[in-house]
Structure 1
């Protein structure tokens, strides 16, 4: 009896593996991951910590072990990059492209993202963001969205999907049914929205419809809840995911990371994996094993993977999950893998990201041109969210051009702290770097204090545009590309 039991166990484990998409630690394939790939694992998701070595060789090794494996990467451009984490992105971000509103520029940018991702051997661009950012307080979407207008977001989502997939990789539009009207970060808690269903359908769903009509191969869910759906977040909710299928999407439904607090701290990674599959998801993104920070264990990646796999296996064995549902999910994942397999290298096309960024910069107010010389940068920005996963210092350094950068925690800074920072900056030209200066925000309060002490100071805003904020250069992305564009704008008198 042990042989059939062992065979059945292995078959169920292979089926569970076929719908799992974990992250891992390091820039080589760990033994546990190699074993899982040989045993049918759907693939892996790259995060910043994986890309410190020869990433092309790493991808080739993953595909040698498992030719079917899908390698995904969050490469949105703008504030969110994995390929250029240490330097800052040289690709325009969604808010820059939305401000420009040139769909050909967005299509070209999508192709360039897809080409770069294909060049390192990855298969899925976890982008574009299809959220309509209707809440300016949104701490996790913001400039990652094309804008706050449904029509604008829809046309740019379609253009981005087309561009990315023209490069031979899959796009993954996110975060269904729309993460744009939240003011809670689902990495830390479960956002709850109060919009009625009619407004969700009118404002937030059309960009996903545009993505489907553009042929998007996958769509990622959001960990958000609404009263009309019950208590379960969209990722775990058959009512929500069923609407996506009813709207005609037959591609892969990918979960947002199951290690985010909205899932991990409610039903857990394992419970989330089982409930997401039961709700209609196909591919379970487990997440970034470095997210626990100082609490991360040396084998966090394997622990998170095994928690998801073992829960799915147990649910299959008990009948809590039907085998047919998981087989259906695995088939969809296999179809997407086949669509991007054996592609040739994507051809380079002319692409001038700096020109796009320059066109997207908006200058409000007037100021004398800066000298092309070192500049003091007073940085008031918030800490980066887990979604960004990259150091933000490159933006300040690019603006400073060799000058001093001074970091001020606007949330807690006193007038004395600000005065001390201004004195330490010394004489010479200076700018204030911000990313949220709506009236009454901590950054706006600190900025007003600096302006009182230093009349004529110029502000560079890498967040959402704000009306009536004084002399501001808005570049709408925390990226190297946007910082360079803002620097060029400083050198031209207004």
Structure 2
């Protein structure tokens, strides 16, 4: 196994001896109903091997260390696991994970732009997919993937849950949006392949998401179950090509979507054997990872535990439990350990009653072990030592993000003195669970150049009072921030109301550009990243 041409390639499949050495050969070949003949310890290891939970805190909890020692498939890092004030802390956390289970998958959502975990405190220094799609420079996108991969590798991560391969054909999509390379299938396909090449050239696995395509939805699967009213022919034409491109690029993993495609049946794709079969028909023999089972699209329907059983039975390999910081007593969860146990116990019960057989677990575990061994050997080919670790691309990401800025800048941009304050009116009220808590990158970037006062953008009826109370005049340097310009929405109406009162204000939109967006006096950043914020601040203030 090794790294060739920016791809992760196994030179030979991982043998069954990498699975559960104490299991009898006959069990590995055929699978055993109810785990008969498998002792309790091996039965637990079998079930644990396919679970990928999140956890709370910046150190390994005792329950998680024990589960890893008992064969847990791995972990997923979220923002709450990252200590930005302690250099090397994430790497040491990964060392602790691997000390407990040398075969663990360590995954992270690190897309660049809006979705970052490793740089969540200050915002991603790498622009997101929408910026890269606007620039449409394949080499630049490959370098973005490489730089994300270098960051992940330094943190001890071996699976980056990116890129987003969804074609964002619905401008009102509440969860994909600027995380996508755009609405053009060919462009999304080309940039998906490029980001994968870059990521995997750093010796980490990439994971294309969310199969078979979350781009035409108008609801957020974190909050409810989306239904895509497209025919399978339309899905094949408009939404599957980026995943085909990912498979051709030997992507290490693909993540399923919690969406219903009627022609595939009424189960969400994550729980649907027809969806898994469709992916395998594309030629993907790598990992199939579920989107988080704690998302309402699964949890509020069948539940995380039964969802895990259905997903594994449908053909999934790794069961991503989700981010415990998103849940609480109101959602039926009391701790990260409870979330893990809910899935583990459901799988044990399904093995006991014959709903699942040992072969379900062994097939998945075989792919997981092959992935881990492939990435281990790819890293060994370029060890972390002076002169041989993967180097960052050297790209100036602020300059690149600046080239992607489009729209209308205010007349006062680059005028005035450093003492002239900027009044920021922030209307971005939507909580995006996928991104998690975001650093206020725009305030920070502006404040590095001039004093900044920040207020919430009120509802349209309150704009006149706010402008008066803040003492704003047409000569004031005002920046209005929005991320949702849905027709009839509060943000659009409020921003328009401010602009009527203060036509010289800078209207900065960080979300997707609406179909009639060119008619609005706004500048578009195509996402929220530290790179885009710095580029905007430089354009406004010099």
TM-score in terms of structure 2 length: 0.86
Q: Deviations over 1:349-394 (max 9, x none)?
A: 3222112111111133662424353311111113231101122523
1:252 to 248, 269, 287: 287
Change (3 A) 1:105 1:287: same
What is the rounded CA distance, in whole Å, between the counterparts of 2:185 and 2:264 in structure 1?
22
Change (3 A) 1:469 1:293: farther
Decide whether the 8 Å contact of 2:257 with 2:269 is kept in 1: yes
Please give the root-mean-square deviation of Cα atoms over the aligned residues, in Å: 1.9
1:217-228 equivalent positions in 2, closer than 5 A: 217-228=252-263
Contact kept, 8 Å, 2:412 with 2:504, in 1: the verdict is: no
Secondary structure of 1:86 counterpart: coil
Counterpart selection for 1:419 from 425, 445, 464: 464
2:434 corresponds to 1:387: yes
The one-character-per-residue Cα deviations of 1:195-253 (angstroms, maximum 9, x if unpaired) are: 11111000000000001111100000000002212210000000111010111100000
2:411 is the alignment partner of 1:367: yes
Superposed CA offset, 1:366-423 (max 9, x none): 62424353311111113231101122523334245431111135xxx241x2223223
2:535 equivalent to 1:468: no
Q: What is residue 117 of structure 1 aligned with on the other side? A: 152
SS of the residue corresponding to residue 325 of structure 2 reads: coil
Partner of 1:429: 477
Work out whether 1:348 is the aligned partner of 2:387.
no
**In the aligned structure 2, how far is the partner of 1:108 from the partner of 1:213?**
19
Aligned to 2:237: 202
Q: Give the match for residue 69 of structure 2.
A: 38
Aligned pair partner of 1:22 in 15, 28, 53: 53
State the 1:276 CA deviation.
Answer: 0.2
Do the aligned partners of 2:211 and 2:243 also contact (CA within 8 Å) in 1? yes
Structure 2 equivalent of residue 406 of structure 1: 455
Q: Distance in 2 between matches of 1:385 and 1:480?
A: 17
Unmatched 5+ residue regions in structure 1? none
- What whole-Å deviation, never above 9, does each CA across 1:50-105 have from its counterpart, x for those lacking one? 11251111111111111111110000000111011121111110000000000100
Displacement of 1:10 in angstroms is: 1.8
- SS state at 2:452 partner: coil
Distance 2:74 2:333 in 1: 21
Q: Which moved more, 1:458-467 or 1:275-284?
A: 458-467
Given that 1:258 and 1:284 are in contact with CA atoms closer than 8 Å, whether structure 2 keeps it comes out as: yes
Local SS of the residue matching 2:178: helix
Secondary structure, aligned partner of 1:129: coil
Contact 1:384 / 1:392 at 8 angstroms: preserved in 2? no
Match of 1:170 in 2: 205
CA 1:398–1:372 in structure 2 vs 1: closer, same or farther (change >3 Å)?
Answer: farther
Q: 1:293 to 1:353 in 2, by over 3 A?
A: farther
Distance 1:477 1:141, change over 3 A: same
Bigger shift: residues 385-394 or 39-48: 385-394
- CA distance in 1: counterparts of 2:443 and 2:519, whole angstroms: 20
After TM superposition, the score normalised by the length of structure 1 is: 0.94
Counterpart pick for 2:111 among 70, 76, 81 = 76
Q: Do residues 459 (structure 1) and 507 (structure 2) align?
A: yes
Counterpart CA distance in 2 for 1:436 and 1:372 is: 32
